[in-house]
Chains A and B, each alone.
Chain A
Amino acid sequence: MNNITDERFTDGKPNLRRFHQARWDEPVIFELGQPGQRGILVPEVDEGIKSQVGNPLKEIPDSLLRKNQPQLPEISQPAVVRHYVHLSQETLGVDCNIDVGQGTCTMKYSPKVNDQLARMVEMTELHPLQDESTVQGILEVFWRFEQILKEISGLDRFTLQPGAGSAAIYTNASIIRAYHASRGEIDKRDEIITTIFSHPSDAACAKVAGFKVITLYPDEDGYPDIEALSAAISERTAGLLITNPEDTGIYNPRIAEFTKLVHVAGGLCSYDQANANGILGVTRAREAGFDLCHFNLHKTFSTPHGCGGPAVGATGVTKELIPFLPVPLVDFDGSNYFLNYDLPNSIGKIRPFYGVAQAVLKAYAWVMALGAEGLREVAEIAVLNNNYLLHKILSIRGASAPYAKGKRRIEQVRYSWEKLYEETGVHSDELGIRAADFGVHYWTSHHPYVVPEPCTLEPTESYSKEELDEYAAIIENVANEAYSNPDLVKNAPYNSTVHTINNHPLDDPQQWCITWRAYKRKTQQVTA
Chain B
Amino acid sequence: MTPKKIVYPYIPNSEPKIKAQMLKDVCASSVDEFYGDIPVELRFNGQMNLPAPFTSEYALRRHIEKILEKNKTTKQYLNFLGAGCYQHHVPAVCDEINSRGEFLTAYAGEPYDDHGRFQSLFEYTSMMAELLEMDVVNVPTYDGFQAAATALRMACHISNRNKVLLPDTLGRDLLSKIRDYLKFDIEIIMVKHNPLTGGIDLHHLKELLTPEIAAVFFENPSYLGFLELKGTEITEMAHSHGVICIVNVDPISLGVLEPPIQYGADIVVGDIQPLGMHMSYGGGQAGFIASRDEEKYVMQYPSRLFGIVPTRVKGEYGFGDVAYERTSFAKREEGNEWVGTASALWGITAGVYLALMGPQGMKEIGEGILYRSQYAKQEMSKLANVSTGVFQAPQFKEFVVNFDKTGKTVAEINHTLLEKRIFGGKDLSHEFPWLGESALFCFTEVHTKEDIDQLVSTLKEVVA
Name the B residues within 8 Å of A206 (CB-CB).
Answer: 333
B60, B271, B306: the one within 8 Å of A113 (CB):
B60
Say whether B434 faces chain A, with CB atoms less than 8 Å apart. no
- With A124-B278, A127-B87, A138-B68 given, is the CB distance from A39 to B50 under 8 Å? no
Q: A369–B93 contact, CB under 8 A?
A: no
Q: Mark B122-140, 1 if CB is under 8 A from A, else 0.
A: 1101111111010111011
Output the nearest chain B residue to A199 by Cβ-Cβ distance.
B340
Q: B116–A65 contact, CB under 8 A?
A: no
Say whether A344 faces chain B, with CB atoms less than 8 Å apart. no
Name the A residues within 8 Å of B139 (CB-CB).
Answer: 308
**At the interface with chain A, which of B102-110, B162-170, B211-219?**
B102-110
B34, B38, B320, B346: the one within 8 Å of A310 (CB):
B346
Q: Mark A210-237, 1 if CB is under 8 A from B, else 0.
A: 1001010000000000000000000000
Name the A residues within 8 Å of B185 (CB-CB).
Answer: 210
Say whether B418 faces chain A, with CB atoms less than 8 Å apart. yes
Q: A250–B37 contact, CB under 8 A?
A: yes
Say whether A396 faces chain B, with CB atoms less than 8 Å apart. no
Q: Mark A87-119, 1 if CB is under 8 A from B, else 0.
A: 111111111100000100101111101010111
Name the B residues within 8 Å of A91 (CB-CB).
Answer: 102-103, 106, 109, 113-117, 120
Q: A327–B100 Cα gap in the complex (Å)?
A: 34
Output the nearest chain A residue to B294 by Cβ-Cβ distance.
A509
B95 to chain A, nearest CB (A): 7
Name the B residues within 8 Å of A475 (CB-CB).
Answer: none
Output the nearest chain B residue to A74 by Cβ-Cβ distance.
B358
Q: B12–A384 contact, CB under 8 A?
A: no
Say whether A513 faces chain B, with CB atoms less than 8 Å apart. yes
Q: A498–B354 Cα gap in the complex (Å)?
A: 26
Q: B342–A308 contact, CB under 8 A?
A: yes
Say whether B232 faces chain A, with CB atoms less than 8 Å apart. yes
B130 to chain A, nearest CB (A): 5
Say whether A64 faces chain B, with CB atoms less than 8 Å apart. yes
Q: A115–B57 Cα gap in the complex (Å)?
A: 13
B38, B93, B145, B363: the one within 8 Å of A282 (CB):
B38
Q: A96–B374 contact, CB under 8 A?
A: no
B39, B51, B77, B282: the one within 8 Å of A352 (CB):
B282
Q: A118–B42 Cα gap in the complex (Å)?
A: 36
Say whether A489 faces chain B, with CB atoms less than 8 Å apart. no
Q: A72–B34 contact, CB under 8 A?
A: no
A80 to chain B, nearest CB (A): 5
Say whether B204 faces chain A, with CB atoms less than 8 Å apart. no
Q: B53–A370 contact, CB under 8 A?
A: yes
Give residues 11-61 of A contacting B (CB, 8 Å). Answer: 21-22, 25-26, 28-30, 33, 37-46, 48-50, 52-53, 56-57, 59-61
Say whether A441 faces chain B, with CB atoms less than 8 Å apart. yes
Q: A157–B226 Cα gap in the complex (Å)?
A: 39
Which residue, of B13, B286, B339, has the highest number of chain A Cβ atoms within 10 A? Answer: B13
B60 to chain A, nearest CB (A): 5
Q: A307–B349 Cα gap in the complex (Å)?
A: 11
Say whether A515 faces chain B, with CB atoms less than 8 Å apart. yes
Q: Mark A260-297, 1 if CB is under 8 A from B, else 0.
A: 00000000000000000001011110011000000010
Q: A502–B310 contact, CB under 8 A?
A: yes
Q: A60–B394 contact, CB under 8 A?
A: yes
A175 to chain B, nearest CB (A): 10
Which size class do B's interface residues fall under? 35 or more
Q: B280–A357 contact, CB under 8 A?
A: yes
Q: A22–B331 Cα gap in the complex (Å)?
A: 34
A22, A119, A123, A347: the one within 8 Å of B95 (CB):
A119
A503 to chain B, nearest CB (A): 5
B344 to chain A, nearest CB (A): 4
Q: A165–B284 Cα gap in the complex (Å)?
A: 18
Q: B44–A282 contact, CB under 8 A?
A: yes
Q: B28–A387 contact, CB under 8 A?
A: yes
Q: Mark B12-30, 1 if CB is under 8 A from A, else 0.
A: 1110001101110110100
Q: B340–A165 contact, CB under 8 A?
A: yes
Say whether A332 faces chain B, with CB atoms less than 8 Å apart. no
Name the B residues within 8 Å of A420 (CB-CB).
Answer: none
Say whether B179 faces chain A, with CB atoms less than 8 Å apart. yes
B131 to chain A, nearest CB (A): 5
**At the interface with chain B, which of A1-9, A314-322, A456-464, A477-485?**
A456-464
Which residue, of A165, A288, A383, A515, has the highest number of chain B Cβ atoms within 10 A? Answer: A515
A21 to chain B, nearest CB (A): 8
B90 to chain A, nearest CB (A): 8
Name the B residues within 8 Å of A44 (CB-CB).
Answer: 368
Give residues 35-64 of B contacting A (CB, 8 Å). Answer: 35-39, 41-44, 47-55, 57, 60-61, 63-64
Q: A110–B110 Cα gap in the complex (Å)?
A: 21
Give residues 365-382 of A contacting B (CB, 8 Å). Answer: 365, 367-378, 380-381
Say whether B245 faces chain A, with CB atoms less than 8 Å apart. no
- With A43-B89, A207-B333 given, is the CB distance from A117 to B65 under 8 Å? yes
Q: A126–B74 contact, CB under 8 A?
A: yes
Say whether B457 faces chain A, with CB atoms less than 8 Å apart. no
Q: B65–A70 contact, CB under 8 A?
A: no
Name the B residues within 8 Å of A487 (CB-CB).
Answer: none
- With A122-B68, A365-B64 given, is the CB distance from A49 to B341 under 8 Å? no
A244 to chain B, nearest CB (A): 10
Q: B335–A204 contact, CB under 8 A?
A: yes
- With A283-B42, A352-B282, A516-B126 given, is the CB distance from A87 to B22 under 8 Å? no
B448 to chain A, nearest CB (A): 6
Name the B residues within 8 Å of A397 (CB-CB).
Answer: none
Name the B residues within 8 Å of A94 (CB-CB).
Answer: 101, 105-107
A238 to chain B, nearest CB (A): 11
Which residue, of A53, A131, A306, A355, has the highest number of chain B Cβ atoms within 10 A? Answer: A306
Q: A72–B73 contact, CB under 8 A?
A: no
Name the B residues within 8 Å of A513 (CB-CB).
Answer: 307-309
> Would you mind naming 29 contact pairs between A and B with Cβ atoms under 8 Å apart?
A28-B123, A30-B123, A39-B91, A43-B445, A45-B367, A49-B375, A61-B394, A64-B257, A75-B355, A80-B93, A80-B356, A93-B102, A95-B101, A105-B108, A126-B74, A137-B69, A137-B71, A174-B180, A174-B183, A304-B104, A307-B103, A307-B345, A351-B143, A372-B49, A498-B112, A502-B309, A515-B122, A516-B130, A518-B293
Closest 4 CB pairs of A and B: A353-B282, A210-B184, A371-B53, A39-B356
Q: Other CB < 8 Å A-B pairs besides A310-B345, A498-B317, A516-B130, 10 of them?
A: A29-B126, A39-B358, A39-B361, A108-B10, A125-B75, A200-B332, A354-B282, A385-B13, A410-B35, A441-B109
